[in-house]
């Protein structure tokens, strides 16, 4: 078995709640095996780190965003909201700090996607959810994208990410492929005791390919609508699966483990007397 297969098999059997810790540990173990390390990070790319702007940066238009490989530029990360490269030099502001400006058209399209994706995040996860969209152009000139959401609370966390790619559009349609990853962790904190603490966690992947109609005169609007439709459907399907399958199965297993053994049913006194009587014994012998 190769190192890649061995690591991925171990990660599949480990609790999803420990994914971040395990990925970091294996990344260190595989530092001398870059191919296996890269394969692992592609298959298990979550959860994310995030950047939280200062109050002053918020006043200048900055918003929280995801720190990931897709928006990494050298040793910095670019903001999908302001294009600023973080960490920015000391003494600079959002308006004066160095920015990423390699492809003006692509970045303008990216801003539109971020606005729509933020509205979706606010609708489903509340205004404290963090969202990011990072777009890139492939070698063939097609568009590829990374869509991510992180929501944390006292009871757990939700990390979802979606890798989008598309084929060159025809006159009327375009084919999109979206691979969705979701890591959900719940910390119920039952009774606050270590012996009863439990994590309900799940890591799911969904791969979807669809050919959808486009309007050539409104090509970008068509892409935003089509991609958004697939993303929303994938997340709804995954949430439904977690709610209807994963959580009930885990709860049922925990209930079976923690449920005390049933006491033997009391014997009816009259039946006990009959079973021990000589008359019944003689009848059994005579049969």
Q: Give the start-to-end residue ranges of the domains of the chain.
A: 1-44, 45-258
pTM over 0.85: no
Tell me the pLDDT of the chain (287 aa) as tens digits. 677 778 777 877 777 777 778 888 888 888 888 888 888 877 776 667 899 999 999 999 999 999 988 899 999 999 999 999 999 999 999 999 999 988 888 999 999 999 999 999 999 999 999 999 999 888 777 789 999 999 988 878 899 999 999 999 999 999 999 999 998 887 765 555 554 556 677 888 899 999 999 998 899 999 999 999 999 999 999 988 887 876 676 666 666 766 666 666 665 665 555 555 555 455 444 44
| Class at the top of the CATH hierarchy for domain 45-258 | alpha beta
67-108 pLDDT per residue, tens: 988 899 999 999 999 999 999 999 999 999 999 988 888 999
Query: Quick one: which of 94, 79, 84 has its CA closest to 131?
Result: 79
Instruction: Give residue 221's pLDDT.
Output: 92
Instruction: Kindly calculate the radius of gyration of the chain based on its CA atoms and give it in whole angstroms.
Output: 28
97-129 pLDDT per residue, tens: 999 988 888 999 999 999 999 999 999 999 999
Instruction: Show the CA angle centred on residue 168, arms to residues 106 and 82, nearest 5°.
Output: 15
């Amino acid at each position: 078995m190769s190192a890649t297969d061995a690591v991925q098999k171990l990660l599949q059997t480990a609790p999803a709640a420990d994914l971040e810790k395990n990925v970091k540990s294996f990344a260190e173990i595989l530092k001398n095996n870059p191919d296996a390390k890269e394969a692992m990070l592609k298959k298990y790319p979550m959860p994310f780190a995030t950047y939280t702007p200062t109050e002053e940066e918020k006043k200048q238009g900055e918003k929280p965003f995801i720190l990931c490989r897709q928006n990494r530029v050298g040793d910095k990360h670019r903001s999908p909201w302001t294009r600023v490269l973080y960490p920015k030099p000391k003494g600079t502001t959002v308006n004066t700090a160095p920015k990423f400006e390699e492809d003006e058209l692509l970045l303008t399209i990216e801003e539109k996607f971020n606005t729509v994706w933020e509205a979706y995040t606010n609708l489903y996860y509340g205004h404290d959810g963090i969202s990011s969209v990072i777009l890139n152009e492939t070698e063939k000139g097609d568009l590829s994208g990374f869509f991510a959401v992180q929501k944390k609370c006292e009871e757990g966390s939700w990390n979802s990410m979606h890798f989008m790619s598309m084929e060159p559009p025809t006159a009327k349609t375009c084919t999109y492929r979206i691979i969705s990853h979701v890591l959900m962790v719940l910390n119920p904190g039952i009774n606050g005791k270590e012996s009863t603490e439990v994590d309900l966690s799940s890591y799911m992947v969904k791969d979807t390919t669809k050919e959808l109609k486009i309007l050539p005169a409104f090509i970008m609007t068509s892409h935003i609508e089509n991609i958004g439709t697939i993303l929303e459907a994938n997340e709804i399907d995954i949430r439904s699966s977690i709610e209807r399958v994963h959580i009930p199965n885990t709860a049922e297993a925990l209930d079976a483990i923690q449920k005390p053994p049933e006491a033997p049913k009391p014997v009816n006194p009259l039946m006990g007397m009959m079973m021990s009587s000589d008359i019944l014994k003689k009848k059994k012998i005579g049969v």
